[in-house]
Amino acid sequence: MDSEKEKTTQRGAEGSTRETPPVEKPSHCLICGRQGPTLLYGHWLCDHCKNIVLAEAIAKKRRIEKEGGGPGLAR
């Protein structure tokens, strides 16, 4: 089997090697799978999932502080 690198490498008539540039592909949200903008490297979160993750992080921080932990008491 040919590797991905070999597929993107083309040999010219002179024998020189030249790589083709990477292609932008449609991206998908890492959490829900919703299709997003065309990106070179498809690491992307949709706005809805970003808001959910942020809300969960804030709730967890408040819960930890309410239980008496957290950075506020480290004196």
Q: Where are the beta strands (DSSP E) in 14-75?
A: 17-19, 25-28, 35-39
- Please indicate, yes or no, if residue 29 is contained in any of the structural domains: yes
- The whole domain housing 45 covers 23-68
pLDDT at residue 63 is higher than 60: yes
Judge contact between 24 and 40, C-beta under 8 A.
yes
27-56 burial, b at 16+ Cβ within 10 Å, e below that, comes to: bebeeeeeebeeeeeeebbbeebeeeeeee
pTM over 0.85: no
- Please indicate, yes or no, if residue 16 is contained in any of the structural domains: no
pLDDT, tens only, 9-50: 545 445 556 666 667 888 889 999 998 888 877 778 999 999
**Total of domains in the chain:** 1
- Please indicate, yes or no, if residue 73 is contained in any of the structural domains: no
- Please indicate, yes or no, if residue 9 is contained in any of the structural domains: no
